[in-house]
Amino acid sequence: MKYATQVGVIGPSEATMEQQEQAERVGALIAERGGIVVCGGYGGVMEAACKGAKSKGGKTIGILSGTDKNERNPYVEGAVATGMGQARNAAVVHSSDVIIAVGGGYGTLTELAMALKSKIPVIGLNTWEAESPRSPWTILVAQSPEQAVDLAFQQLEKPSVSESHEELSDRSPILDVH
């Protein structure tokens, strides 16, 4: 079974108008490619990305820091209430096949670091820049929402990054315990 690509869209909950417009366009483009928007589920960039995805009939998942699923933005289709506070950033990152950051503060920076450390591709649109002399993983800089989404899906086409869930499930178990 082939799964839809889950694209994490991260950025500030108190976003500028430009960031909101970019995030809404990113969400719409993800939906047009059949991807699912994964985000923190609240306002700002997260809400704008979900709004864009829903405008194109796309699916959205919000991973919330609190315990109330109803605190999500109105465009989140599936809400996961973690009760984990900012630690929920790890769930956003690890639920995503690729990350697109639009703007961002220190919360976004933690998600970027987690993604890079976990070898999850990261595309940045007017966000933090980071590179490490000890790692080939870096934030790929995009100049527009279109380029960000193109880069995101291109990264998933690379064999070293994208093994489908189907390929993984076809493997023999490493250890067979009777």
Question: pLDDT in tens for each of the 178 residues of the chain?
Answer: 789 999 999 999 999 999 999 999 999 999 999 999 999 999 999 999 999 999 999 999 999 999 999 999 999 999 999 999 999 999 999 999 999 999 999 999 999 999 999 999 999 999 988 776 776 778 999 999 999 999 999 999 876 543 433 333 333 333 333 3
* pTM given for the model: 0.87
The per-residue pLDDT for 170 is 36
The per-residue pLDDT for 166 is 37
Domains of the chain: 6-169 (3.40.50.450)
The per-residue pLDDT for 136 is 74
User: How far apart are the C-alpha atoms of 64 and 70, rounded to whole Å?
Assistant: 10
Label residue 132 exposed, middle or buried (CB < 10 Å: 0-12, 13-18, 19+). Answer: exposed
DSSP E strand stretches across the chain: 6-10, 36-39, 59-64, 78-81, 98-102, 122-125, 139-142
The per-residue pLDDT for 160 is 53
The per-residue pLDDT for 137 is 78
- The DSSP annotation for 93-123 comes to HHT-SEEEEES--HHHHHHHHHHHHTT--EE
For 49, the 3-state DSSP assignment is helix
The per-residue pLDDT for 177 is 33
Contact between 144 and 121 (Cβ < 8 Å): no
C-alpha distances in Å from residue 17, one per residue of 14, 24, 51, 102, 170: 10, 10, 14, 12, 46
The per-residue pLDDT for 5 is 96
